Amino acid sequence: MKAYLRSDGRKGIRNIIVVAYLVECAHHVAREIMFPFRERGVHLIGFGGCYPNAYSFRMMKQLCTHPNVAGAVLVSLGCEGFNRNELARAIRDSGRPVTTVVIQSTGGTRKSIAEGQRWISQTLEQIATTPRVEMSIDELIVGTICGGSDATSGITANPAVGRAFDLLVERNGRAIFEETGELIGCEQIMAERAVRPELARELIACVEKAAKHYTVLGHGSFAPGNADGGLTTQEEKSMGAYSKSGSSRINGILKPGDVPPSGGLYLLDVVPDGEVRFGFANINDNAEIGELIACGSHVILFTTGRGSVVGSAISPVIKVCANPETYRRMSEDMDIDAGRILEERATLDEVGQEIFDRVIKTAEGVPTVSETLGHQEFVLTYKTFEPIGPACLAAGAAS
């Protein structure tokens, strides 16, 4: 497959410009800057908070220098706490073009929109000449998440994604699963798959931290829609979510913004460290998608039983529908009909191969359904994380 070669040596499967607002007060201006170019590979992302947060800065840095990103417009009101100069410096150091529009300095809404749009018009011509080079499967990073799960998710779409992950890992690709709040009860099973004893202990600790977090909040990762869809307990939902990981050995644990260093399977720990400070770990599915992308995911596999329409900025989302009735009702929003497994029209292995093949086609440039529909959802909130320790990502962890 052909990919876009970045100056920092990484390879992307898309060639987009991000318009990033650095406080909610700049959201409207950033959206207006992006809007005329929304079908030309310009995506809107941003952080709404006024006060600085190390996690949010790291997320924005990783997203603005993602392999799928060719350049960035930073939109600042001018008085927020976000360190716009440091972010611009990091983007520039990665070899990507970047400009900063400061609304208070530029002279208000209209002048700021015009300035940002002028820059994008010029830069789209510049990035059109980005070199294309060969990219192999072992350079791909693929993340997975489930949303709108029901009783079919754990027996069709999720294990089919697990089979696709096994195919990817067999070829030394990098696969990331997450949702530690939806793995409660699965920690011992995961620990048995760890490549090192010390990693096994960290996997258990990850899930125990998630359980404590949700206990303090008094609400687990179990929505009314899950119950309406036939799921009965948190543990049942966890087993279904866990099946997305496949059967490969687990190489390590990542935290948001950590890029897996080599081929293999990794768990992304999405629950903040320390005392509960900012409320729910992830307020919706797109918050987790953003974290998977910040870890370098070129593509996201999104499984759903009840049905979901969201996509994402930066990295394409492949929708895998678990429930055949949902697929018939919402087929225009789905890429893969995994519900065929339930109706004995396909096997897990066949759908797993189909998902794997769809990842490759997406990496080769074929748009996903959410891309064709214009979905570019994005959410970024406040969190706190400590750096991963050596037990989580030891040297020589690749299998």
Q: What is the pLDDT of residues 213-242, one digit of tens each?
A: 988 988 766 567 666 666 656 666 666 678
Task: Outline where 94-156 has alpha helix (H).
Answer: 103-106, 109-127
pLDDT of residue 219: 72
Same domain, 91 and 17: yes
Residues 246 and 330 in one domain: yes
Please check whether residues 165 and 208 belong to one and the same domain. yes
Residue range 25-42: mean pLDDT, rounded: 98
Domain final position from 84, 112, 133: 133
143, 127: one domain: no
Taking only the tens place, the pLDDT of each residue in 155-208 is 999 999 999 999 999 999 999 999 888 888 889 999 999 999 999 999 999 999
285-306 per-position pLDDT tens digit: 999 999 999 999 999 999 999 9
How many independent structural domains does the chain possess?
2
Per-range mean pLDDT, top range of 95-99, 208-212, 230-234: 95-99
Q: How far apart, in whole angstroms, are the C-alpha atoms of residue 289 and residue 15? A: 19
Q: Which burial class, exposed, middle or buried, applies to 249 when counting CB atoms under 10 A from its CB (0-12, 13-18, 19+)?
A: middle
Q: Stretch 364-387: mean pLDDT, rounded?
A: 97
pLDDT of residue 234: 63
378 assigned to some structural domain: no
If one counts every other C-beta atom within 10 angstroms of the C-beta of residue 121, the result is: 12
Percent of the chain with pLDDT over 90: 84
Domain that holds residue 192: 137-372
Last residue of a domain, one of 110, 133, 156: 133
| pLDDT number for residue 227 | 63
How high is the pLDDT of residue 61? 98
pLDDT tens, position by position, 314-359: 999 999 999 999 999 999 999 999 999 999 999 999 999 999 999 9
Same domain, 161 and 277: yes
Average pLDDT, rounded, for the chain: 93
What is the CATH classification number for the domain harbouring 48? 3.40.50.2300
Q: What is the mean pLDDT of residues 360-388?
A: 97
pLDDT (average), residues 139-157: 91
pLDDT digits (tens, 9 = 90+) for 241-272: 789 999 999 999 999 999 999 999 999 999 99
209 occurs within a structural domain: yes
Q: Indicate the pLDDT class of residue 397, thresholds 50, 70 and 90.
A: very low
CB proximity list for 146: less than 8 A, separation 6 or greater: 153, 157, 158, 179, 182, 240, 241, 244, 302, 303, 304
What's the pLDDT score for residue 207? Answer: 93
Worst-scoring range by mean pLDDT, 95-104, 222-231, 290-299, 364-373?
Answer: 222-231
- Cα gap 84→22, rounded to integer Å: 8
Are 291 and 156 contained in the same domain? yes
In the prediction, which pLDDT does 399 show? 35
